[in-house]
Amino acid sequence: MTTTNTLSMISGVHDSPLEEYYTSGHRTCQGCESALVMKLMIKAAGPRTVVLGSTGCMYVANTTYYSTPWVVPWMHTQLGSSGSAATGTAAGLKALMSKGKIKDEPMNVISFCGDGGGVDMGLSAISASLTHLQYNHLVFCYDNESYANTDIQDSGSSPYGVNTSFSPPGKLHRIMHKRWKKNMAAMMAVGHPGVRYVATGCGSYAVDLMNKVRKALALGGPTFIHTYDPCPKGWDYDPMYSHELGMLGVETGIWVQYEIEDGELRLNGPSRMIEAGRRKRKPVYDFLKRQGRYAHFTDEDVDYYQEKIDEMWEKWWLPGIIPIHPEDAIPASPG
């Protein structure tokens, strides 16, 4: 494995780098948290970084004809290919360096994808990329909970009951999207021994997110980060509330902030306080009622959603992370 960049931890907003590598030139919606997440991601990684992006809002709305906000080398890759693009680029750089064709220096490779591109279509390529431990790269999944760029179709990461263009509430069936959100980060952590870093994040907790990017890149090998990104268009709310909705997602316990470093799990921020019993979860109603995508929810629907979140925190083997109920385990037979 080639060496990685030394990236120190950022102690607070005042300590974050001033330089921007994702600047003007994009045309994402006002209040787009995924755009903020891109800005934080590359601010943390710095200039010695190659960014690859699979199709989705962060490709299409960012890079149109001759305009782009990326100041670092950037390449588009096919919708399901963030994993293979990451491995291929890291392997290519390593080969060029070992042949002396380019300077041998630590180089960050970050390959991002949306939830449609990563949690659904590109899952196998991401999984494969996390088994090639000899290459340094970060797969970064920004999750706005729909195929947003093609007009908000539901994905495997869309939450229960949500109104999307593929799951509009009708007179006969109010709830059309009945699946629960895939548990992507935990799946990546548990299924890929040898991966040194897997984390969840949210743009509302900017310093936490930037430090997670730095840890992933500095630890090296293949790593994975999954962010929770309010999307004014798909979630249907006034763009000024993006930051607040990200916080509410965490404070209600719907989204859990954590990192797994060399097999050691740490919950972060409000999620850590909730887990330690030092803070109460806010009712999911406070989050759901703020978004048009849940406008069709009745009181029963909200109660059901709350029950599922309570179960995630109270009955799962690891709260919000591993959905196994230890009390239901069949005891091993003696002898």
- Residue in 31, 56, 159, 230 binding ligand TPP, rule: CB under 6 A: 56
According to the binding rule CB under 5 A, does residue 144 interact with Mg ion? Answer: yes
Residues 99-118 within binding reach of ligand TPP (CB under 6 A): 113-117
Q: How far is the CB of 278 from ligand SF4 (least distance, A)?
A: 33
70: Cβ contacts below 8 Å, ≥ 6 apart: 21, 22, 42, 51, 62, 63
Q: Looking at the DSSP assignment, which residues form a beta bridge with residue 322?
A: 318
Residues contacting Mg ion: total by CB under 5 A: 5
What sign has the CA pseudo-torsion 139, 155, 271, 207?
positive
Looking at the DSSP assignment, which residues form a beta bridge with residue 224?
139, 198
- Regarding 210 and contact with ligand SF4 (CB under 6 A), the answer is no
Q: To the nearest whole angstrom, how small is the minimum distance from the Cβ of residue 145 to Mg ion?
A: 7
CA distance 232 to 241: 8
- Candidates 28, 63, 129, 155; binder of ligand TPP (CB under 6 A) is 155
Work out how close the CB of 29 gets to Mg ion at its nearest, in angstroms, rounded to a whole number.
13
Among 10, 21, 22, 28, binds ligand SF4 (CB under 6 A): 28
| Spacing of C-alpha 47 from chain mean position | 22
Interaction of residue 117 with ligand SF4, rule CB under 6 A: no
Residue 77 in the binding site for ligand TPP (CB under 6 A): no
- CB closer to ligand TPP out of 120 and 275: 120
Structural element, H or E, at residue 34: helix 33-45
Task: Please select the residue that binds ligand SF4; options are 61, 90, 198, 321, rule is CB under 6 A.
Answer: 61
Number of residues that bind ligand SF4 (CB under 6 A): 13
Shortest distance (Å) from residue 104 CB to ligand TPP: 34
Work out how close the CB of 103 gets to ligand TPP at its nearest, in angstroms, rounded to a whole number.
34
| Amino acid at the residue 179 | R
Single-letter amino acid code for the residue at 215: K
Instruction: Provide the minimum distance between the beta carbon of 239 and ligand SF4 in the complex, in angstroms, as a whole number.
Output: 8
CA 213, 46, 62 angle in degrees (round to 5)?
85
DSSP one-letter string for 182-223: P-HHHHHHHH-TT--EEEEEETTSHHHHHHHHHHHHHH-SEE
Binding site for ligand TPP (CB under 6 A): 55-58, 79, 113-117, 144, 146-150, 155
